[in-house]
Structure formats: C-alpha cells, structure tokens
Chains A and B, each alone.
Chain A
Amino acid sequence: MKLNWRLKERLLEGLLNIPGLVLIITIWAFPLIVLVINSFYTNIPFGGHVQEFTLENYKKIFTDPFYVIILYRTAIIAITVTVLSVIISYPVAYKLARIDEKKAMFLLILIVVPFLTAVIFRAFGLIYLMGNRGVINSFLHWLGFEGISLIWNQTAIIIGFLNVLLPYMLLSLYSSIKQVNKSVEEAAWVLGANRVKTTWYIVLPQIKSGMVTGSIFVFAIAMGTFEIPAILGGMGQMVIPMLIQQYVSYMNFPGASALAIVLLGFVLLFVGIGTRLVGGKMEL
C-alpha cells in the first residue's frame, strides 16, 4: 500500500474535477435522468401525471400516424440538410484550404461571423428576406411579379438550416482538407487523374473523419433545433422540437419526455453509425 507523494499529488489534482462535476451532474445528467423516468409515466391533461411505469408513450409515438409523420418530417429535413451541407460546402472548403492562408483567413472570418451570432438572429434576418413582406418579395413586386410564399414550407426550413449549419460543415471539412497533403493530389494529377477523379479517389477518403464529425453536428442540430422550423416553417410544418415545446407549455411532461428521448435516440443512432464508419473514436 503505497500512499506516496505521487498518489497524493494525483488525487489533489483529480479534485479539480469536482466543481465541474457537480455542475454537470446536477444540471445536465440528473435532469436527463428525470426526463427518462418521466417518459414512462402517463399524462393527466392539465397538470399531473400517473406515476406508473408504462410504455404507452413510446408505443403511441411509433404507431400513431400523427407522431409518425412528424418524426418522419423531422428526420427527412435533418438528413436532407446534412447531405446538402456536405455537397454545398465541399468546394468552398477545398478552395479555402488550398489557397494562401492569409487570404483564406479573411474569408474564414466572414464565414465565422454569422456563426458567432445566435441562430435566432439569423432566423430573424431570414424572415425579413423571405417573408411575405420581405426583401425578395418586394423585389419581385418591384419587377411587377406576384409575391410568392417562400416561407412556411419545408424548403424554407431547409434553407434556414443550411444558412445556420453550413459553417459547421465548412470548418470541419476545411481543417480536414488542410491535413491532406497537396503533393498527394499533385501526384494523382501527374498520373493522369482529373479533378473529379482526384477528389473521389484521393481527397474524399482522407477526409472521412472530418465529414463525419461535421455531419454529426449538422444532423444533431437539424433534428433538435426549435427556432428555425418554428419561425420559417410555422405550425403547418411541425417537427419534434416544436411538439416538445408545445407539450411542455401544456405541462405534459410525460409526453414531452418521451418525444425528447426518441429524438435523442435518433441523434445517438446517427452518432453511432458515424463513428462506426470512421472506425472508432473520433478526434475533435
């Protein structure tokens, strides 16, 4: 039994974890456990719940068409956004990764600035652009056309998410591509591969982990964000986060909890698949 100085030092340094640990357990872990527990209760409308273990909530979510449609819509939007974000941001990320760093820095800052403003700031801006009395419609009116309804549909939500989430994917791809040695690409060119082939056979395989990391963040946010669908999609485009918020406002905690856990399940499933594709732990 060696209670030597080394052990003492390590223990004291380990104690540094305590403040953060207390915070994370009380404010994050515990409420999530409460959430899981609540998801098995039955709701009594207008307050209260029956504290009996039941799987009813989950059954309803997966069988009742009302819920299934919402689940489906949420997932489709999230997947579409994820796929589009990769396709749209790849060329930009590649360009920025391959030019002189000083020039890239300026453009990166331009990309990061909106990223640093709140999601809801940008939702606000987007509504003014796309709304029925917004910039685009004003422009169309000015040109003599009829206004079109750009918002309150799924496309608007996807555009909104892309606006918010492209920077995530961009930065993730950018740092991955930067790590790919340019001379490897040049070797491919010299051996006769054109740009497309080089990208497909040489670059993409090497940036897999960057793509997966970016996709995980994009998917998680696209599935779990309230502001964008609520503002740009409206009540006609109900997604899970909006439904959860509605239930919470009615104090239907069991219902809200079950929905939240299902949402979490989807996100974790995606994370799991993603990490598997990359082969184990990813680095950030």
Chain B
Amino acid sequence: MAEVRVQNLNKSFGELKAVNNVSFHAKSGEFLFLLGPSGCGKTTSLRTIAGLEEQDSGKVLVGGKDVSDTPVHKRNLGFVFQNYALFPHMTVRQNIEFGLRMKKINKRYYREKVSEILSLVGLEGYEDRKPDQLSGGEKQRIALCRTLVLDPQVLLLDEPLSNLDAKLRKRMRVELENIQNKLGLTTIHVTHDQEEALAMADRIILMNNGSIVQEGTPPEIYEKPLNGFVADFMGQVNCYRGKVVKVTDNKVALESEKLPRINVLQSDGKKLKEGKDVFFMVKKEGIKINSSLNSSKEINSVEGEVLVASYYGSHIEFICGFPGKSGQIILKAPVDISPVPTRGEKVNLQWDYDNAFIIECFA
C-alpha cells in the first residue's frame, strides 16, 4: 500500500486562502482523518491529492512519486464523494464496471469482480438496480465498490457519511472500518464530525482556516489539546481563558473574566507561574452538579446558577451561569440524577482533578 505525502501545499480561490502551507503524510495502511469545521481546507486538500483541484504551490507524492503532473484519470487513487456521484443512467453493475473498462481490463473478469465486491459490502444481487432505486446507505456502499474494485493503493473519502442519518452513520462507520482494516488501504478521510474521527482514526489532522492546528492520535488530540480551538472543537470541554493569580504547591488559583475565582488542583500545577495567561478546560461529562445546600469544596469547585436544563434522552444537559461574571458552563449529567436541579436554582459544581486541566496560552 502506498504512502501519501503532501508538502507545503498552498491553494487560494481568488482572495480566499483555502489551504495555507499544509504538509502532512499518511503512512502506508494508515487510517488518517482530516478533521475541521467547514471551510478549513480539508476538502480542498483532499481534492488536490486526487488532482481535482490544482495547487498554487506545493507537492503531492504518492508512493514517493510526485503526481502533480499526472492527470486525474491516471492517478489511480480511490475517491468517494459526499453525494456519492453514482452515474444515474447506468445500473449498479455498469457503475462498478466503469473503472474496469477505463483500465481496459478484460471483460471476462467483470462478472466475478462485480459480485465479489458487492459481497464485500453485503449488497449481493444488486447488480441490475439503478441508483435512483437505492437508499442513501446503499448508494454509499456502491460508491465504495466502484472504487475498491480497482484495487487502489490509496482511498480518499470526502465526508462519505455526512449525508446519512445518525443511525445509519454509526453502522456505516463500522463497515468502513472493517473494510479499511481488511484491505489495509492507506485511507484519508475528511470529516467535520469529531466523534467520527475519534472513533475511527489511527491519526487525526485537525485543521482550521487553511492551516493544520494539531496532529496526533485520537487520545493525544482529545486529552492534550494544544489550544482553545482544539479543545473546543473536540467538543467535550468547556474552555476559558484566564490568568494565574497564585500557585501553592499543585493548587492553582485562577482569575477569569468569565468565571468566578477558582482553585484548581493539577498534578503539574507547580510548573505554572503567577501572572501567566492560561486556558482552563473542564470536561462537560466530568462535572457533578449539586444543590448549593451541600458543602461546597474549596478546590475544583465553583458556584453557579442553573440557566437551562435540557433533556437529551441519554443525559441531561445543564447550562449554568455565574452571578457577576459573563461566562457559562455546560455540563452533562446522568438522567437518574436526583433531585433534579431546576432553573434559577443555585448549585455547586465540582469536578475530579483528572477531568480538568490548565494549559498555557501560546500568544
């Protein structure tokens, strides 16, 4: 399986710099994710690898070879589009055979290859259907078949699961992972869904505004975000900017515009100096909520007032505000919490020390 390397890629659309000096590589057999909000440059980067966009500068190497001068149809990279792009005037069989025809593979192999690839995705017998007779999930799998039947060295996926409903998406995630695993394909998957990336990726490249913000394995990115954007995007934390007021052993006192003064116990809290600008992050799932009547602790705790309580089926989400401060904190509580705090109630919020952390701001 081939390795894909992107070096110093730059691409602008008119005034907009979509991809800004981006470099990364996907190791052979790796399941790499390009993750980020809309407009961050992930899709443009992917399309540039496929040749569907032309970079202003920079190189794309596949298996060590510079492919910039290779036309799209000769790059031999698998590509699945967000809207699947099945040929509406052809049957499933003809769609799958298309690539084989282009490669001028002998026709007598077609039948076998088509049925083989269809069984791989569990759609045996679908050969003679037309795309408008297929459901979303089926179309997606046929789009995959079309590409996999050609034994590509690399698989490029442009938000392939985004157009599916939530349940189908989870199922397809598993299927996709299985296929990738089984075939050992070097895969680059573009998505804006951080849950998807965390669940499936070997490595994640997080992008924003055309640049790479952080690179790493899912645990690395989730637990050690380099800055507030990363932490916020990964979605699981509340993030606040603040200043270190006082450090006593591992206890750090923080002042912040958005939060009342808090004391945070951190394992390497000693390292922080007074006066430093920091980010304080606490996981939404790691906060416990109690009525203020219980004793409030001095450390890893803050008092607030319930603004909103929303029932989400699997959990209850509370948004609390702080009198005199502009910030809010979001937390996820289990459904069986009792008594359930109500709007306007004064509450005490506590967290375990490994559910929160402070990192320095990089100016």
Contacts and interface: CB of A to CB of B under 8 A. Distances in A.
Direct contact of A and B (CB under 8 A): yes
Interface of A: 4-6, 9
A6 B70 CA distance: 9
Contacts of A9: 71
7 contacts: A4-B69, A5-B69, A5-B70, A5-B71, A6-B54, A6-B71, A9-B71
Interface in B47-102: 54, 69-71
B48 to A, nearest CB: 12
A6 B75 CA distance: 14
A6 B67 CA distance: 13
Contacts of A4: 69
Nearest to A8: B71
Interface of A is mostly: helix
Interface of B: 54, 69-71
Contacts of A6: 54, 71
A33 B71 CA distance: 43
Contacts of B54: 6
Nearest to A9: B71
Contacts of B70: 5
A11 to B, nearest CB: 14
Contacts of A5: 69-71
A4 B67 CA distance: 12
A7 to B, nearest CB: 10
Nearest to A7: B54
B109 to A, nearest CB: 29
A156 B70 CA distance: 68
A9 B54 CA distance: 13
A5 B54 CA distance: 11
Contacts of B71: 5-6, 9
A5 B70 CA distance: 8
A176 B54 CA distance: 39
A6 B55 CA distance: 12
A240 B281 CA distance: 81
| Those 3 A-B pairs whose CB atoms lie nearest each other, nearest first | A5-B71, A6-B54, A4-B69
Nearest to A6: B54
Residue of A4, A5, A6, A9 with highest tally of chain B CB at under 10 A = A5
Nearest to A4: B69
A5 B69 CA distance: 7
A149 B71 CA distance: 73
B76 to A, nearest CB: 15
B54 to A, nearest CB: 6
A6 B54 CA distance: 9
A214 to B, nearest CB: 33
A265 B54 CA distance: 45
B65 to A, nearest CB: 15
A61 to B, nearest CB: 48
B190 to A, nearest CB: 22
A9 B74 CA distance: 14
Nearest to B74: A5
A37 to B, nearest CB: 42
A8 to B, nearest CB: 9
A192 to B, nearest CB: 37
B55 to A, nearest CB: 11
Contacts of B69: 4-5
A256 B71 CA distance: 55
A159 to B, nearest CB: 47
Nearest to A5: B71
A4 B68 CA distance: 9
B44 to A, nearest CB: 16
A2 to B, nearest CB: 9
A4 B69 CA distance: 7
Nearest to B68: A4
B101 to A, nearest CB: 20
A9 B72 CA distance: 11
A9 B52 CA distance: 13
A5 B74 CA distance: 11
B110 to A, nearest CB: 28
A9 to B, nearest CB: 7
A222 to B, nearest CB: 42
A243 B157 CA distance: 67
A175 to B, nearest CB: 25
A90 to B, nearest CB: 37
A10 to B, nearest CB: 11
A4 B70 CA distance: 9
B345 to A, nearest CB: 41
A6 B73 CA distance: 11
A2 B69 CA distance: 10
B69 to A, nearest CB: 6
A4 B71 CA distance: 9
Nearest to B54: A6
B58 to A, nearest CB: 14
Nearest to B70: A5
A246 to B, nearest CB: 53
